Amino acid sequence: MTTLRNDWTKVEVSNLFALPFMDLIFRAQTIHREFHIPNTVQVSTLLSIKTGACPEDCAYCPQSVRYDTGLESEELLELNTVTQKARAAKDSGATRFCMGAAYRSPKPRDLTKVLAMIKAVKSLGLETCATLGMVSSTQALELKQAGLDYYNHNLDTSAEYYKEIISTRTYQDRLDTLQAVRDAGMNVCCGGIVGMGEQAEDRVGLLYTLATLPEHPQSVPINQLVRVAGTPLADAAALDPFDFVRMVAVARILMPRAHVRLSAGRAEMSDELQALCFLAGANSIFYGEKLLTTGNPDTAEDQKLFERLQIAAEPLATAARHASAA
């Protein structure tokens, strides 16, 4: 019986990464089956409700106003548009609808509009998720009261490497937002990005931080850097696919109840690599043609892959039980 722990040491996490690949995968899959229904994947859809013109300088992000990436900025979408997109996502098999806005922190007038979106999406019978940048305790409570189930706020990388990627907000700023979300009673969606030029110890550091939070995130997105022309990381070296799988497997071992999600970079992954990730304990994906501003496999391709692997989409009721248990 696996014990849930929040007292991992960096040495223990590093030792997991050092396991022979097959041993690591076997251990991760064994733990996965203890806490989750085998051969099921939770399906989310992500919509950019406000695109571009972000004042932050995240080195990976095409939405930063500081970089010339050719991205056209878009104001906050209308409520009817968001509701239509959410309904289409549900019809395609998604059980969670995530709304992303390129804010440093939402202004009160914008938050009021987002709260209406959350209520509308919730009324469709979907789980709701949002990523809006930093939020205060008061804003987190407003989001919770509107019916928001999950709040996404990634740590991106280790505390030590963070300053090489972002200078406009601190690591503690991110941790403070996570605390506000937990205090409001919402589920936390928090992970990071690999392939940004970080070292192996930075991947250890990121997962160590996540696994030693007061409560494990209920969703842990593992993103592979999408190299976008015009951003400082456009020419970053390609990541070894096995290193990505190791990241998934160690996340599964450290945070057994969490949904470990394949997020950005999936469009560049082969079906074989995705299958390895599912074997390593990934059990959540973003579904649809676009992931904020970068490509994502379309729903038809995902459905074909699910059929080939004999994987089923996790029912909403099951996802909700996992969240409440966590």
How far apart are the C-alpha atoms of 162 and 156, rounded to whole Å? 8
When mean pLDDT is compared across 11-25, 77-91, 276-290, the lowest value belongs to 276-290
Q: Is the pLDDT of residue 297 over 60?
A: no
- State the residue for tokens 């722990």: 5
Pick the catalytic residue from 27, 96, 98, 190. Answer: 98
DSSP 6: S
- What pLDDT is recorded for position 325? 46
Assess whether 261 carries a catalytic annotation: yes
Q: Which of 269, 221, 205, 202 is nearest to 242 (CA)?
A: 269
- State the residue for tokens 């390895």: 276
* DSSP-based helix, strand, coil % in the chain, nearest 5: 40, 15, 40
Q: What is the mean pLDDT of residues 255-269?
A: 91
Q: What is the mean pLDDT of residues 88-104?
A: 86
Q: What is the mean pLDDT of residues 113-119?
A: 95
Beta-carbon-side half-sphere exposure of residue 253 (alpha carbons within 13 Å): 24
Q: Is the pLDDT of residue 305 over 60?
A: yes
Q: Is the pLDDT of residue 323 over 80?
A: no
Which CA distances in Å does 321 have to 38, 78, 98, 258? Answer: 15, 32, 19, 12
When mean pLDDT is compared across 103-117, 203-217, 269-283, 311-325, the lowest value belongs to 311-325
Q: Among residues of the chain, what percentage have pLDDT more than 70?
A: 93
When mean pLDDT is compared across 157-171, 237-251, 301-315, the lowest value belongs to 301-315
How far apart are the C-alpha atoms of 120 and 138, rounded to whole Å? 21
Pick the catalytic residue from 203, 227, 261, 266. Answer: 261
Pick the catalytic residue from 61, 169, 174, 203. Answer: 61
Q: What is the mean pLDDT of residues 90-111?
A: 87
Confidence of residue 295 (pLDDT cuts 50, 70, 90): very low
Q: Is the pLDDT of residue 315 over 80?
A: no
When comparing pLDDT for 297 and 265, which is higher? Answer: 265
Q: Is the pLDDT of residue 321 over 50?
A: no
Pick the catalytic residue from 54, 203, 252, 277. Answer: 54
Q: Is the alpha carbon torsion for 77, 83, 86, 92 positive or negative? A: negative
Cα three-residue angle 311-315-321, rounded to 5 degrees: 120
Assess whether 98 carries a catalytic annotation: yes
When comparing pLDDT for 209 and 108, which is higher? Answer: 209
Angle (deg, nearest 10), helices 200-211 and 241-254: 20
Which CA distances in Å does 29 have to 22, 55, 249? Answer: 11, 41, 8
Pick the catalytic residue from 189, 203, 266, 277. Answer: 189
Q: Is the pLDDT of residue 289 over 80?
A: no
Q: What is the mean pLDDT of residues 73-100?
A: 88
Assess whether 190 carries a catalytic annotation: no
Q: Which of 130, 206, 142 is nearest to 175 (CA)?
A: 206
Q: What is the mean pLDDT of residues 100-109?
A: 86
- Residue 229 one-letter amino acid: A
- What pLDDT is recorded for position 286? 80
Q: Tokens at residue 32, please?
A: 């996965």
- What pLDDT is recorded for position 288? 58
Q: Which of 209, 221, 242, 194 is nearest to 292 (CA)?
A: 221
| Partners of 188 in beta bridges | 151
- What pLDDT is recorded for position 267? 84
- State the residue for tokens 């007038």: 109
Pick the catalytic residue from 5, 27, 33, 58. Answer: 58
Assess whether 277 carries a catalytic annotation: no
How confident is the prediction for the chain on average, in pLDDT?
Answer: 89
Residues 6+ apart with CB under 8 A from 304: none
